[in-house]
């Protein structure tokens, strides 16, 4: 009954408060295809958190990430997750996220950021907000959630992202992915997919 009604269930009071705040901020997906864009090891935790009915877009070379090989390093990976590695400049994050937002086959993005000298946390955060806003000006809006790992600077970056419409948490993969999953389940139960 809860699933059919779109009721979001929480296992704890903290989860309830996190989901209530984050689901209001997070866009409603238009489908179930999720792409993971990471700057380090990230997939296992994400896939483990995703609901069975959500799809991690497959590795078909003609699929949603067909433009990625031109913008990421040759030693990265263009599958799902898209691994842009930790040593890439900020523009690689921007271009990869832009591709994900522009592709109509992708319905949600999960970002995994690891603090690097090349792309400091606030540079990453400001770039992600800029690309999100640029796409919004073109009428493209999709749910984006982010997990940031590193030292204390990622806390400020996560707060900045959250305040600007990207659900983000420092030091946690589980919470942002759980938010994306709950938003998807709500949309599915509400008949919006």
Could you tell me the CATH number of the domain that includes residue 52?
3.40.50.261
CB 174 within 8 A of CB 45: yes
Q: Is residue 193 part of a domain?
A: no
Indicate yes or no: pTM above 0.85: no
Cis ω for the linkage preceding 81 (within 30 of 0): yes
pLDDT of residue 45: 46
Residue ranges making up the domain that contains 142: 2-187
DSSP per-residue letters across 162-182: HHTT-EEEET-SHHHHHHHHH
Q: Is residue 192 part of a domain?
A: no
Each residue's pLDDT, cut to its tens digit, for the chain (193 residues) gives 776 666 777 888 888 888 888 877 888 888 888 888 887 655 444 544 454 445 555 544 444 443 443 434 443 444 566 777 767 789 989 999 999 999 998 999 999 998 888 999 999 999 999 999 999 999 999 999 999 998 999 999 999 999 999 999 999 888 888 888 888 888 888 788 7
Element (H, E) at 48: helix 43-49
> For the chain, what is the radius of gyration of the CA atoms?
16
Q: Is residue 80 part of a domain?
A: yes
Instruction: State the number of CA atoms in the 13 A half-sphere of 164 facing the CB.
Output: 19
Q: List, in order, residues 6 or more apart from 80 with CB less than 8 Å away.
A: 35, 36, 56, 57, 58, 59, 64, 65
CB 121 within 8 A of CB 151: no
Total domain count, the chain: 1
CB 119 within 8 A of CB 46: no
Residue with tokens 């990430």: 65
Cα separation, 34 vs 58, in Å, equals 9
Q: Is residue 92 part of a domain?
A: yes
pLDDT of residue 155: 96
């Amino acid at each position: 009954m809860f699933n059919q009604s779109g009721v979001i269930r929480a296992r704890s009071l903290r989860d309830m408060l996190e989901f209530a705040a984050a689901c209001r901020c997070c866009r409603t997906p238009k489908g179930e295809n999720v792409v993971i864009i990471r700057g380090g090891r990230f997939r296992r935790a994400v896939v483990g958190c995703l609901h069975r009915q959500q799809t991690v877009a497959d590795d078909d070379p003609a699929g949603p990430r067909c433009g990625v090989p031109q913008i990421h390093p040759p030693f990265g990976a263009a599958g799902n997750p898209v691994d842009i590695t930790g040593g890439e400049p900020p523009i690689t994050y921007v271009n990869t996220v832009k591709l994900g937002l522009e592709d109509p086959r992708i319905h949600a993005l999960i970002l995994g950021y690891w603090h690097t000298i090349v792309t400091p946390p606030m540079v990453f955060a400001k770039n992600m907000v800029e690309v999100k806003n640029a796409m919004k000006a073109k009428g493209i809006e999709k749910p984006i959630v982010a997990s940031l790992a590193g030292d204390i600077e990622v806390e400020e970056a996560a707060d900045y992202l959250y305040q600007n419409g990207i659900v983000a948490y420092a030091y946690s993969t589980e919470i942002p992915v759980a938010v994306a999953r709950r938003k998807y389940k709500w949309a599915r139960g509400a008949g919006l997919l």
